[in-house]
Chain A
C-alpha cells in the first residue's frame, strides 16, 4: 500500500527494493513520511528526475514495515532524523544521509558518486 503522496515512484516491498538496487547502477531512495523534513527532499528528487537520466529515484515510506532494510542498515545507525536517504551503486550503499537535505547537498552526492 502506498503511503506517500509524491510524484516519485514509491517502493512498497523489501523485495522490490532489493530488485531495484540490484538491477540499476545508480539508485537514490528517500525513506520518509509526508512531513516538513521529507517533502523538500522529495521535491529535489522530482526536479532531478527530469535531468539525471543515469540515476533512478524512488521513495519508500518510513512507517512501512518493508522499509526495515533501510531503517536497520548499518549506514543509518545513529540516525535520529527522517528522511533516511540512501544512495546505492551497483547494489551497494555508497552514501546515506539523515534529515532534510538541500538541492546542493543532494547534487554534491550525485556528482561525486553518480557522474556519468
Chain B
C-alpha cells in the first residue's frame, strides 16, 4: 500500500481537475488517478469561446491551467495508469492498479468522463488512420479532392461535414434515422451545401480496402438492402459513451451506463461521489463538468467532516 489519501479522484478531465483544485485547496490530501490524457474530452476541443471569464482559448491550454492549479495546491496526479479493480465497501476505499500498486482513500470522486462512440463494425480498427478518422480538423486535409462519408446526425456530424467540404469534393452523410438530431441551423447549412449528399435510415456495416479504406457497405434499414459504396475516407461522429464499464456493480448506473447521483453528486455508495460527463444529466459542457466537480469536492469535504 503506497499511502492513504483523504480523497482519490478517478479521472483528470474538467470535472476531476476542478474537484482536485477544490479538495487540495481545502487541505485534503488528494490524488488524481487518470487512465488517459489529462484534460479528458476538453483537450479534444480546438476552440473554447464560451467559458466565462476566459477569452477564446483551446481545450489543451485550459486543461493545462487547471492541471497546474490543482498541482500548485498540492494535488498529486498520476496519469496513464490502468485500474484493475475497486473496493468501495468499507470506510477506506481501495483502488488497485494493473501494475500492482494499490491506493486507499477515505472518499472517492468518480470522474471517468466519456469517449467518442465507435461503430464497432468490421474494418474500423484496421483502417483507423488509413481512411477512418474521428477528427475533421486534424485529418481533413488528407482528403483533399477525395470523396468521403460522414457518419452521424448530431451537431458534430453536420458541422464537421460542412467543414470537410473545404477539402473533399463530395461528402455523403450517412444517418440511421429519417431526421437529424442537430440544431436547425446546422441542418440547414449542411442541406444547402452543394457538396453534401445524404443517405438516411441507413447504417454502415463493413469497412473494406487493401491497405487503406476504399469502400463501405451500407444497409438501408427499412428494406435491409446492403449496397457497397466506394469512398476514400470515413469520419465518424456518433456521440459519446460514459467510461463506466468497470463500474457496473460498483455504483448504481442507469441503462445508458451513466452514474446515478443526487444533487450533491453522491452515488448510492457512502463516501463515493461522481461528477462530469459520466453522470446522468442532459447537458455536457466544460462549464457543467466544472460545476459538478466543484459540488462533488464540497460534498466530499462535508462527508469527511461528518466522519471526524
Contact = CB atoms under 8 A, between A and B. Distances in A.
A81 B130 contact: yes
A43 B44 contact: no
Interface stretch (A10-18, A20-28, A97-105): A97-105
A93 interface: no
Contacts of B131: 80
Interface stretch (B132-140, B156-164, B187-195, B280-288): B132-140
B133 A103 contact: no
Contacts of B79: 43, 47
Interface string A46-69: 010000000000000000000000
Given A5-B60, A80-B131, A40 B36 contact: yes
B60 A39 contact: yes
A77 to B, nearest CB: 9
B60 A37 contact: no
Interface string B59-96: 11100000000000000000110100000000000000
Interface residues of A, number: 22
B43 A39 contact: yes
B114 interface: no
A34 interface: yes
Contacts of B139: 37, 80-82, 99
A47 B36 CA distance: 11
A97 B132 CA distance: 14
B46 interface: yes
Given A34-B58, A37-B139, A40-B36, A81 B44 contact: no
Interface in A71-95: 78-82
Contacts of A78: 130, 211-212
B37 interface: yes
Nearest to A101: B129
A5 B131 CA distance: 27
B38 interface: yes
B36 A81 contact: no
B212 A36 contact: no
Given A81-B133, A82-B139, A103-B82, 17 more contacts: A35-B46, A35-B138, A37-B133, A37-B134, A37-B135, A37-B138, A37-B139, A39-B43, A40-B37, A40-B43, A78-B212, A79-B142, A80-B130, A80-B212, A81-B128, A81-B129, A99-B128
